[in-house]
């Protein structure tokens, strides 16, 4: 199974993200746009794991959350990752010490348990669309017009990524409270 550890968003945030994604879709020549149910903030992408490894992931999540208290994050800024087949457009997360510590601790613990971890610096973002062809300046102007309330983070979740009826679907397997 394909899995990742994430922070999920409340309906207020998802409503704003959906509106922004619809606006991005409207001005794009093409793209693959995130669905409302799939909005999340990835903490660690695990890739393909065996179901027998879920207990190790759960243990790592619990250990990382032991020292963490609930905290707030702020969606702020927008940008793109340039790709040959079309760009990835995203909203960023304002610098946050609690988020950075939680993500760093989780990644370290997962690595100690033998999971493959990303060696690149963590860059928290929420993907709105992939393989998007659009005018960058127009997109940024629109995305920067959105503002978000704070998201209160009280848990992290293990998510499964699968295709159901041809649609990418993220399913929460369980959550661990901070």
Q: What is the pLDDT of residues 81-96, one digit of tens each?
A: 999 989 999 999 999 9
* CATH superfamily, with its number, for domain 2-177: Cyclic phosphodiesterase (3.90.1140.10)
Q: What is the pLDDT of residue 131?
A: 96
Q: What is the pLDDT of residue 147?
A: 96
How far, in Å, CA of 102 to CA of 112, rounded?
15
The yes-or-no verdict on residue 47 having pLDDT over 90 is yes
Of 18-27, 61-70, 116-125, 153-162, the range with the lowest mean pLDDT is 116-125
Contacts of 167 (CB under 8 A, 6+ apart): 35
Q: What is the pLDDT of residue 85?
A: 87
Domain boundaries, the chain: 2-177
Half-sphere exposure of 3 toward its Cβ, with a 13 Å CA cutoff?
Answer: 22
Q: In degrees rounded to 5, what are phi and psi of residue 143?
A: -65, -35
What confidence tier does 65 reach under pLDDT thresholds 50, 70, 90? very high
What confidence tier does 35 reach under pLDDT thresholds 50, 70, 90? very high
Q: What is the pLDDT of residue 117?
A: 80
Q: Is the pTM of this model over 0.75?
A: yes
Q: What is the pLDDT of residue 151?
A: 97
Residue among 168, 157, 162 at smallest CA distance from 42:
157
Half-sphere exposure of 43 toward its Cβ, with a 13 Å CA cutoff?
Answer: 28
Mean pLDDT of the chain: 95
Q: What is the pLDDT of residue 104?
A: 96
The yes-or-no verdict on residue 67 having pLDDT over 90 is no
Section 88-105 average pLDDT: 97
Q: What is the pLDDT of residue 116?
A: 87
Q: Are 81 and 88 in contact (CB under 8 A)?
A: yes
Section 66-83 average pLDDT: 95
What confidence tier does 34 reach under pLDDT thresholds 50, 70, 90? very high
Contacts of 71 (CB under 8 A, 6+ apart): 96, 98, 99, 152, 153, 178
The percentage of the chain sitting over the pLDDT mark of 70, rounded to a whole number, equals 100
């Amino acid at each position: 199974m394909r899995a990742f550890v994430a922070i999920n968003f409340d309906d207020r945030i998802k409503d704003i993200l959906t509106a922004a994604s619809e606006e991005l879709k409207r001005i794009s020549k093409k793209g693959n746009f995130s669905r409302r149910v799939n909005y999340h903030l990835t903490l660690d992408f695990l890739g393909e794991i065996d179901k027998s490894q879920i207990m190790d992931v759960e243990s790592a999540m619990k250990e990382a959350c032991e020292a963490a208290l609930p905290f707030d994050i702020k969606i702020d800024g927008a940008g793109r990752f340039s790709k040959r087949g079309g760009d990835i457009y995203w909203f960023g997360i304002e610098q946050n010490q609690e988020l950075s510590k939680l993500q760093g601790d989780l990644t370290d613990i997962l690595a100690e348990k033998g999971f493959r971890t990303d060696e690149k610096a963590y860059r928290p973002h929420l993907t709105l669309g992939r393989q998007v062809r659009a005018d960058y300046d127009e997109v940024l102007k629109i995305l920067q017009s959105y503002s978000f309330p704070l998201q209160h983070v009280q848990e992290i979740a293990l998510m499964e990524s699968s295709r159901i009826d041809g649609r990418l679907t993220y399913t929460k397997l369980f959550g661990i409270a901070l």
